[in-house]
Amino acid sequence: MPQSADKVKDHISLFKEPEYLELFASKKAQFECRPTDEAVAAQAEYTKTWEYREKNFAREIATINPAKACQPLGAVFVAAGFEGTLPYVHGSQGCVAYFRSHLARHFKEAVPIVADSMTEDAAVFGGLANIVEGLQNAYTLYKPKMIVVSTTCMAEVIGDDLSAFIATAKEKESVPADFPVPFAHTPSFVGSHTTGYDNQMKGILSYFWDREAQLTAAAGDKINIIPGFDGYAVANNREIKRYLDTMGVDYTFIGDVSDVYDTPSDGEYRMYDGGTTLDETRAAINAKATIGLQEFCSLKTLEYVATKGQQTAAFNYPMGIGATDAFLMKVSELTGKAIPASIEKERGRLVDAITDSQAWLHGKKFAVFGDPDFTLAMSAFLMEMGAEPTHVLATNGAKEWEAKAKALLASSPFGASGQVWAGKDLWHLRSLLFTEPTDFIIGSSYGKYLEKDTGIPLIRLTFPIFDRHHHHRFPTFGYQGALRVLVEILDRVFEVADESDISFDLTR
């Protein structure tokens, strides 16, 4: 054997041993029933052509590697941001394992989510029994302060009524009658994780403000912040709170996962850590205004909040100079608090850093993919740095996003050649990169397959990031976050330059 208990090899070197090379060759020859290597290579070359691109973009049904997830992922993300709250999914266990693993692999944290494990009988007779028993078990075993329920495809296809089911469960004393169980219908077959985030956030607020209605709306001076679905929430939420604290703003951060997805290793397991308290959530109805940091994660929520007499404002991921400026000025306008000199200095340092490095970024072409708000912010920041967002793609981007993205690119000479791709997937992007290549790709870990196929370097800057560690612990929001993004991009630019004998320089 190539290894033993006394000599354990890393998998990279282990699988290069003769025994494994022989095993792989045998598997390929005997079981894969594949065409010849020459035929495979010829087909691969064909997929790089304009002719194949036209056929690829003509497909109407099949989706290949979409840059999005399904609604319940966003719903459980929202639920985790509240004090002592257990996310509960009414649906099949397999779906929930996906949500749990997706978040755990990105944040490198245990992610508590429970499911009532609907199976074939529930698909035929309905999932009421699952809800009744599941809520009782979850409440008894895990002792949460709140359980937030969302759904998967199975429950939605058969039309399970969450409101009636939860009411029945309370009648059967699965949980106390006054125990908070907000819910949202989050069918996986429509929308995406950003839609699920929005639906669940609205469901939680409407539970406390309408169903429970302990407080009557009376305008105060606080502002509410709704962060949106964000793989960098651990650091970004803290960065936004630092700004608000520095300005002396009185605020409520609604749905704050910065602690629960960043717990310490100190001998104590924290199933619930931090989060917006339930009393803060109730009192948020009395805020003067609510700000959504990601417009396309809070469309329905902000519309609902406006019916309570609050002012609302929405941004598209406050990253970069202009986006951070707009956010801070809106906060100042709403609260009457001045932007302090310390924050202005941070802005100046970012401008200085961009100026120092602008020659290395000017004219570089980028393909950007991800969620609607991220792609807008990333494209805007690239143009601020003199780079060119050539392909901007959001699988979960709709017509409103498409129009906004086109207007953004048209606002700068650096966006003049940019193209916007709403509803397209990463296989579409592959065709684009072969026929109209860029210098770099910005997106999630799923872009590494594009990097391998096309040879275009990937810069990981959005959720999910599975194959690198701890990116989420450093902000991308605000001036400091933009500085960090600038460094990430520059490092990749310099790494590519180092691959050339002509530009293998010690000083840049």
| Tokens standing for residue 93 | 């266990």
Q: Is the pLDDT of residue 99 over 70?
A: yes
pLDDT for residue 305: 97
Q: Assign 9 a pLDDT band (cuts: 50, 70, 90).
A: confident
pLDDT for residue 1: 61
Question: Which three-class secondary structure state does DSSP give residue 87?
Answer: strand
- Which position among 153, 297, 305, 420 bears the catalytic label? 153
Residue 366 φ then ψ, to 5°: -130, 140
pLDDT for residue 126: 87
Q: Is the pLDDT of residue 215 over 70?
A: no
Higher pLDDT, 186 or 218: 186
Which class would CATH give 71-212?
A: alpha beta
Domains 71-212 and 223-342 share a fold: yes
- Which position among 157, 190, 351, 487 bears the catalytic label? 157
Q: What is the mean pLDDT of residues 216-233?
A: 91
Q: Is the pLDDT of residue 330 over 70?
A: yes
Provide the terminal-to-terminal Cα distance of the chain, rounded to the nearest Å.
48
Contact 187, 196 (CB under 8 A): no
Residue 112 φ then ψ, to 5°: -70, 120
pTM for this predicted structure: 0.96
pLDDT-above-90 percentage for the chain: 87
Which class would CATH give 353-498?
A: alpha beta
DSSP states of 292-336: ESBGGGSHHHHHHHHTTT-EEEE-B--BSHHHHHHHHHHHHHHH-
Nearest to 330 by CA among 476, 377, 322: 322
What is the architecture, at CATH level 2, of domain 223-342?
Answer: 3-Layer(aba) Sandwich (3.40)
- Clarify whether 124 is annotated catalytic: no
Fill in the DSSP letter of residue 189. Answer: T
Q: What is the mean pLDDT of residues 75-91?
A: 98
Q: Is the pLDDT of residue 183 over 80?
A: yes
CA dihedral sign of residues 251, 255, 260, 261: negative
Of 14-18, 52-56, 100-104, the range with the lowest mean pLDDT is 14-18
Q: Where are the domains of the chain?
A: 71-212, 223-342, 353-498
pLDDT for residue 217: 66
Q: Is the pLDDT of residue 361 over 70?
A: yes
Count of CB atoms situated within 10 Å of the CB of 225: 26
pLDDT for residue 277: 98
- Clarify whether 157 is annotated catalytic: yes
Q: What is the mean pLDDT of residues 162-177?
A: 96
CA dihedral sign of residues 497, 499, 501, 506: positive
Of 15-29, 174-188, 206-220, 480-494, the range with the lowest mean pLDDT is 206-220
| Tokens standing for residue 374 | 């991220």
pLDDT for residue 301: 98
Contact 273, 263 (CB under 8 A): yes
Q: What is the mean pLDDT of residues 242-262?
A: 98
Q: Is the pLDDT of residue 124 over 90?
A: no
